[in-house]
Each structure stands twice: as C-alpha cells, then as structure tokens.
Chain A
C-alpha cells in the first residue's frame, strides 16, 4: 500500500498541477493578508477564498485524476493486491497531496503574517474540506460510468454545497420563521460541510458577536468547545462516510 501511495504522489508531483495549486494559494493568501491592515479581515477574506475555491478545485481535480489513472488502477488490480488497498492508497495519495498543498500554500503565509488559534482553525478547516471533497470525488469516481458524466456530477455536487444548499436553507428558514427552528437549522447545517467550515471559522473570530446578537443559540452551542467538537466531528464524518461507501462499492465494481 505504501508503494502505491508513493507512486500516486510521484505522479501527482510530476504533472505539476499540485505545485501550481500551492503557488496560487500562497500568492492569494499573501496578497489578501497584505491588502488588509486588519488581520481578522484578512482571515475572513481567506475564509471566503477557501470556501469558494477549495471544494470546487479539489473535487474537480480529484475526479479527473481518478478517471485518468484508471489504467494504472486496472494494472494494479491485476496484481495480487486487495481492491480495498488500491482504492484507499489512491485516495490517501490524492487527498494528502492536495491537503499538503493547502497547508503549505495558506498555512505558511499565515504562520508568518497572522499566527494564532484562528489561523490554525482556518488551515484545519481548509484541510478538512480538501479531505471531504476528495472523498466525495472518489465516491463519484466509483459510482459513475465514464469520465464526462463523472466530471458533470462533480460540478453539480460542488455547486450544490457552495450555493444551492444555502438557497434551500434560506427558503426553509423563510417558510418556517414562525417556529423555533434554531436547533433544526444547526442540524441542517451538519449536512453541508462548507457551512460547517464557515460557521466553525466565524465563531473563532470577533464577528461571532454578530451571530450571537440574532441567534443566541448558535453562539451558545456552536461557540462553545462542544460546538467546535460537533462541527469538526461532523466534518470527519463527511470524510469517512463517502470513503467507506466508495470502498464498499469499489470492492464489487465491474471494471
């Protein structure tokens, strides 16, 4: 398994996209952080960048990569190696390189310019988002029949989580505003990793007072240690569940 991970990593390094991704992230973070004198504002802008680009880039790139390396996978499967190991190794190679790219690209500038718990949480959420969306990409890969359809689905999934989900949520909030829906909203948030990441990060910043102003419950629950643990464990679920599903499907998949 280690050897497979090694080869996946080497392959990813060779096609340089990861490197470009790292550099783009680094340039973005440095410019955003230098643009704003207020570090908290800079972090917020970086959060926006993270929430918008990391999911889409991760899911698209990972899906495309999984489809492109299908021949390599088939070759591996002709060897006496467990299918489970092959797919997991590919996931680990992919996810870890993207996560490392994020950690270096955003984490290093943050370390030098704005070091603190908030920065750490931002890097953590970014890394978690990367892991989640690579895991979703893997699920899309094992579920869909061909590359075009896979990429289509990946786009739809990314759009759904960045945009559509919030639209549905706001429609829900609008139509049930007469009822005490605070708890329901928190429960719904758990179904969108991007919202989880956003709320987790916002509650670390000063802006949390704004949320507390309107929804005391959000702050009381999500602002506490339990709340942070809740959102982080929900995100971990978002990594594990698609991964588990894809391994199960891949084990029986007719290639």
Chain B
C-alpha cells in the first residue's frame, strides 16, 4: 500500500512539473507556423505522420519538436524549410526535403541562426541545397541525421552540414552524401566531429577552414571527389578516421594546407590517390596510421617543417613519399615500410640501415610529370635499385633511420 501511494505521488509530482510545459499534438492539415506562434516557450509539439506541405517555418522560441513516423516537410524546390532563431530548441525525427536554390540566400533544410543549445537529431534531410546550416551558433548538437542529395556540380550545390562562425558544436553519427562538401566548417572552434559517414560528395567529404582546436575522429570518408581538406587551422586532432578510395586525378585522403600543432593518429588510409598531401604545415604529429594501396602514401612539400612521422605502417603504396625539394626538415622514425629491404643483425626489430622512402622515380615525376608515362617500366625499376645503393638524386635527408622490420599491430 505504501509503495503504491509513493509511486502515485511521484507521478503526480512529475505531472505537476510538466504542467507549465504543455504538449501539443499537430496534425498534417494544421498550420505548424500558427501552432508555433501560439505555443509558449518550452512547449513540446508532437507532429503526427504525414505530408505537411509547409515550408519557411520560423522558430523563435525554445521548443521541442518531435516527429512521429517522420512527418515530411517540403520546400517545393523554391523555399527554405525550417529556420531556428532561438536557443534551446530540440528537433527530432522529421523529414525535410526539396529546398530551393538561390544565389542570394543559402537555402537550407534546417537553418540555425544565432542559436545556442539547439539539438537536431534523427532527422532525414533529402535533396536540399544545404542540409543543416549553422550560422553564428554555439553548443549545438547535430546527431544521427541522414542528409542526402544528388548534386551534380560544385556551383549549383551546397553542403550537407554547413557551419560558419560557430563554437562548441558536436556533429555526431550523421550520414552525409551527394552534396558539394559533406561537412563544411569555417571559423568553427572547439568542436567535435565524430562517427559520421561522408561519402559520394562532389568536392570534399569534410572541408575545414580557420577552425581551431577541433577534433574529428571515428569518421569514414569515402569516394569523395577530392577527399578531406583541412586548411589554415591550428590545433586539429584527426584520429581513428577511415579515408577510403578517394581516387581520381586530383584526389587525396587529406589535404593539409597551413596547419600547425595538430595530430593525425590511428587513421586508416586505403586506396587513395594521395594519402596525405601536406603543404606549409608544421608541428604535426603523424603516428600509428595505416597507409595501404595508395598511389602516394604522402606528398610532403618542402614548405613543411618540424613534423614527426612515427610508428606508421606503409603497405603496398605505389610511392611511399614524394617531395618537391631537397630540403627536409621533418622527422621520420620507427615506421614500417613494406619496401624496406635492409637487414636487422641484432634482431631488435629495428633495421640497421636507414630507409629512403622517396624513390628516384617519384623525384623525377615530381619534377617532370610527363615522365609518368614510364610508370612501371623496367628502366625505372633499375634506376630505383641503383639509387638505393648509392643515393644521389633523392633527398638524402629524408630517411627513416630506424625503420621497423615488422609491421606494427594497429
């Protein structure tokens, strides 16, 4: 008897707590904008399943909007769909589709303007110019959304998740495909990009500029036009990502341009034209990554300095490292190179002769791209062998003094 009354009491208490935050059920023939305008701050709107042929819905107060069975909102290829311009908004389980495209306004499926503590989760966003657009927002979470489009060219399309001038975002578990860039970050700081899948985008899987102290990890980037670009940033942590099959004339897994004080660790680079393309970057720690079956595992321009490459596995790449100069201010140590053919007399797992990862043929093709026509010809094999015995053309400072003789278990 006592237990039952306690439970009853607790239930009543909860109801009393919720009493001032009303729950409204919305049907598809109702005008959502009108319901929103009437609702009080902190209310919950439960949207029933169905086709809401509504668009340009503006949310200017803290609300919780939950869709049941993915109610569909349509922009008819002309309009924006949701605009959130308030803090503490929670949106879950709706489907947004067919935004318009304009040269003046970036039309998005769900747009956040000057908002903070907004969560958008479990939504489906199809055929939008921009999927989720965050502008000057803070502490927002974009989670488990499916953002899909079928963009044809760069100029006519937008990005899956687009963030501009934001802070402390969490972009987690989303699936992004068919946009210009899967995720676009510009002036976004202290944010996390985690467990997303970004594939089949025409330009980059992730495009990242002036965004300091961000972390992206456990993401998969595959089959994007040009891979992932990280530019003009410091303090980025890139870890446990998979970069797969970014294969094409001008593709790479990661492009690093003017990046400093960052980490690239535990990533997997598989079948990319170039694994890491590095330009003007310094103090990057590249460790415990696996580079397999890439055209070039790394292209490190001479403008990079103080980078450390250690404990990586290089397996089956056509070229391990290419560079465009003879200066080399970076450190390579303790990597496993499958092309290493030195010996290890004292059996301590470290090769006794240094490994030169830059082959003479890669030096020649770097200088004269036309020489690529001789790729895999018998002559270039011989040249590489000769150069291994007596290095004269290859940058002799670029070497791994302690190459591993056994693969790292990564």
The reply to whether A216 and B249 contact each other, CB–CB distance below 8 Å, is yes
Total A-B residue contacts, Cβ distance less than 8 Å: 92
Q: Which of A41, A167, A194, A211 has the most CB of B within 10 A?
A: A211
B320 CB–A CB distance under 8 Å:
no
Complex: A218 Cα to B271 Cα, angstroms: 21
The reply to whether B249 and A212 contact each other, CB–CB distance below 8 Å, is yes
Could you list 7 A-B pairs, sorted by A, with CB under 8 Å? A38-B293, A52-B378, A166-B379, A182-B370, A198-B376, A209-B251, A214-B365
A210 CB–B CB distance under 8 Å:
yes
Complex: A44 Cα to B316 Cα, angstroms: 12
B373 CB–A CB distance under 8 Å:
yes
The reply to whether A214 and B376 contact each other, CB–CB distance below 8 Å, is no
Interface size class of B (residues with CB under 8 A): 20 to 34
A76 CB–B CB distance under 8 Å:
no
Q: What does the 1/0 interface line of B270-311 toward A look like (CB < 8 Å)? A: 010100000000000000000001010000000000000000
The reply to whether A167 and B295 contact each other, CB–CB distance below 8 Å, is no
B368 CB–A CB distance under 8 Å:
yes
Q: Which residue of B lies closest to A51 (CB)?
A: B378
B9 CB–A CB distance under 8 Å:
no
Contacts of A196-255 to chain B: CB distance below 8 A: 198-199, 202, 206-207, 209-216, 218-219
Q: What does the 1/0 interface line of A40-79 toward B look like (CB < 8 Å)? A: 0100100110011000000000000000000000000000
B residues less than 8 Å from A51 (CB atoms): 377-378
Q: Which of B248, B273, B369 has the most CB of A within 10 A?
A: B369
A112 CB–B CB distance under 8 Å:
no
Which residues of chain A have a CB within 8 Å of any CB of chain B?
A: 38, 41, 44, 47-48, 51-52, 162-163, 166-167, 169-170, 173-174, 177, 181-182, 185-186, 189, 194-195, 198-199, 202, 206-207, 209-216, 218-219
A residues less than 8 Å from B247 (CB atoms): 206, 209
Q: Which residue of A lies closest to B367 (CB)?
A: A177
Contacts of B242-272 to chain A: CB distance below 8 A: 247-251, 271
Complex: A181 Cα to B368 Cα, angstroms: 11
Q: How far is the CB of B215 from chain A (nearest CB, A)?
A: 31
B27 CB–A CB distance under 8 Å:
no
Q: Are A47 and B378 also in contact (CB < 8 A) when A38-B293, A182-B370 are?
A: no
The reply to whether B377 and A214 contact each other, CB–CB distance below 8 Å, is no
B345 CB–A CB distance under 8 Å:
no
The reply to whether B316 and A41 contact each other, CB–CB distance below 8 Å, is yes
B residues less than 8 Å from A48 (CB atoms): 376, 378
Q: How far is the CB of A101 from chain B (nearest CB, A)?
A: 22
The reply to whether A47 and B376 contact each other, CB–CB distance below 8 Å, is yes
The reply to whether B370 and A177 contact each other, CB–CB distance below 8 Å, is yes
The reply to whether A189 and B373 contact each other, CB–CB distance below 8 Å, is yes
Q: What does the 1/0 interface line of B131-169 toward A look like (CB < 8 Å)? A: 000000000000000000000000000000000000000
The reply to whether A210 and B375 contact each other, CB–CB distance below 8 Å, is yes
Complex: A236 Cα to B249 Cα, angstroms: 30
